[in-house]
A and B are shown apart, each in its own frame.
Chain A
Amino acid sequence: MQIISDSVLLFRRHLDTTMKSKISILIGMVQPVLYLLLFGPMLEKALPDASGSNAWQMYVPGLLVQLGLFGAGYAGFNLIPDMRAGVIERMRVTPISRLALLLGRVMRDAVVMLIQAVMLTLVAVGFGLRAPLVGVVGSFVMVLALAISLASMSYLLALSLPTEYLFAPVVNTVALPLLLLSGILLPMTFAPGWLSVLSHFSPFRYIVDGMRDLFLGHYATRSVLEGAIVAGVLVVGSLALGTRKFVQANS
């Protein structure tokens, strides 16, 4: 199918660009380790191990979502130099599928995020994480969904803002409350009533909760189901919105 081959073509180009830059590979690998190294050691005191589980099973899923928010969430930055150089416009004049213009990039971002997630998890095992393989793999599926939707929304934002200067402040402003409301640093069960209610408006809360259950080896739970549904809706919705923007993009 044309859409698939178009997407794969652009995916390979974008992945090539990323892989050609040694600095971006280095940064991509250092980032997840920093999360563990600079925050993890405090964790064991803050969240003492409960019976049959340890703090890392709570913390690592949150970290994965945080990695997504601050990695794929900023994917739009990659679009800005291409918009400025006219690359997007050059591609929009060709018969290539508009969905592929988005998917090619998003697939690259998803692969980068998946590699980072695997690294982070492996390093976390060194720190003391123990979790069932099936649950971890299931979490990675959610990580992929998260990367796809965050990257799409990030591209949508980059294409929509009147000036590129606004991109960083807007992403920061959106990402920070989403991060805090998702119970990434501490579980939302610690939150007072009003904050807990508010947190249910963050889609990432459901994903974090779902991933935590998966890490604990609880597969058939309400949280996992909710997380999966939210992830699915996010992927479809963000791709649809993002593609629409590439059809009419003014850049």
Chain B
Amino acid sequence: MHSVQVQDLTKTYKTKNGLVEAVAGVSFDVAQGEIVGFLGQNGAGKTTTLRMLTTLLKPTSGSARVAGHDLSTDAQGVRRKIGYVAQSGGTSPAASGRSELVLQGRLYQMNQADAVRRADQLIQEFDLEDLADRPTVTLSGGQRRRLDIALGLTHRPDVLFLDEPSAALDPQSRSLLWEHVRKVRENYGTTVFLSTHYLDEADALCDRVLIIDKGRVVAEDSPENLKAQLGYDIVTIELATDADRAEAVLAQHPAVQEVKAQAQGLRLTVEHNDRVLLQFLRTLDEAGIEPLSIQVERPTLDDVFLSITNRSINLPGQQPMNV
């Protein structure tokens, strides 16, 4: 059962310089209860896609079903079943969190008593007890973000859309936020579709990642598979002296793809191989070089992202269309 099915969705804007394809035809499915991340740089088309899927923006072409309703013919049906938390949030600065939560319930046609009860429940669930009666403008970024997400969940939506949920939050607020998002799925089976340009966020939170670049989905898999697909380890060797000589001898090793000198030593891109470290040490020892330390890192989603988006830049026909 799919919560979100997207088929060839596009959005083209007219500008002075011609047509700009913000979203150049994306297709994907999101299963019920899945947390899927939309990963891409600023301007890649993430927000535009999200705004189309949440009925805020009319697609230029393509179709989508969201929470069982057709986006183009039944926008009201979609609206009843989804929650959306925009990048900038959506709370009125002068209003209190509690009054915003009650209003939100009323906007979804709850009666006053139900809306008040639901607001109390969310305040508790999102640890907002001490903050709920203050004007939202006095809340910190992390606190306001929790309130934003509570607002998005007021009507117990089937699908929750989060646009850059942790942008501009400190590390503690971020992990707290992730905790809340995970709990939402765990407790209510809510499907979560979020956009982010933080790779660690996608890694920490998502079952599946769609990498979007220049308005197209260029990769789609679990974070683990995406990382495995890259298949390279990064070996960092710290050296006091002899960096040049070390570079020369190690570059000859068959597993080494690339050697880069850096301030404190070398950084090598190496085919994944469990024995490679021992061989490196032996080679260095034979050459009379003693490293200060040697470290191996599995690729991060950052590396995957860079490798994929670099590759896609070189493919023809992926630049924004200028007519």
Asked if A225 is at the interface of the complex by the 8 Å CB criterion, the answer is no
Q: How far is the CA of A97 from the CA of B86 in the complex (A)?
A: 20
Q: How far is the CA of A95 from the CA of B107 in the complex (A)?
A: 7
A11-29 toward B: CB 8 Å interface, digit per residue (1/0)? 0010001001100000000
Q: How far is the CA of A170 from the CA of B262 in the complex (A)?
A: 57
A76-105 toward B: CB 8 Å interface, digit per residue (1/0)? 000001101111011111111000000000
Query: In the assembled complex, how far is the CB of residue B14 from the closest CB belonging to chain A, in whole angstroms?
Result: 13
Asked if A9 is at the interface of the complex by the 8 Å CB criterion, the answer is yes
Q: How far is the CA of A19 from the CA of B55 in the complex (A)?
A: 33
Partner of A93 from the list B55, B94, B95 (CB cut-off 8 Å) is B55
Query: A86-B86, A89-B56 are contacts. A17–B76 as well, Cβ < 8 Å?
Result: no
User: Which residues of A lie under 8 Å from residue B93 when comparing CB positions?
Assistant: 81, 85
Asked if B298 is at the interface of the complex by the 8 Å CB criterion, the answer is no
Query: In the assembled complex, how far is the CB of residue B306 from the closest CB belonging to chain A, in whole angstroms?
Result: 31
Query: A13-B103, A86-B86, A90-B151 are contacts. A95–B108 as well, Cβ < 8 Å?
Result: yes
Asked if B54 is at the interface of the complex by the 8 Å CB criterion, the answer is yes
Asked if A248 is at the interface of the complex by the 8 Å CB criterion, the answer is yes
Q: How far is the CA of A212 from the CA of B268 in the complex (A)?
A: 87
User: Which residues of B lie under 8 Å from residue A81 when comparing CB positions?
Assistant: 93
User: Which residues of B lie under 8 Å from residue A87 when comparing CB positions?
Assistant: 90-92
Q: How far is the CA of A95 from the CA of B92 in the complex (A)?
A: 19
Contact between A93 and B84, CB atoms less than 8 A apart: yes
Query: A20-B94, A81-B93 are contacts. A95–B80 as well, Cβ < 8 Å?
Result: yes
Query: A81-B93, A87-B91, A87-B92 are contacts. A93–B103 as well, Cβ < 8 Å?
Result: no
Asked if B134 is at the interface of the complex by the 8 Å CB criterion, the answer is no
Partner of A95 from the list B56, B76, B151 (CB cut-off 8 Å) is B76
Question: Which of A2, A6, A85, A90 counts the most chain B CB atoms within 10 A?
Answer: A90
Partner of B79 from the list A13, A17, A93 (CB cut-off 8 Å) is A93
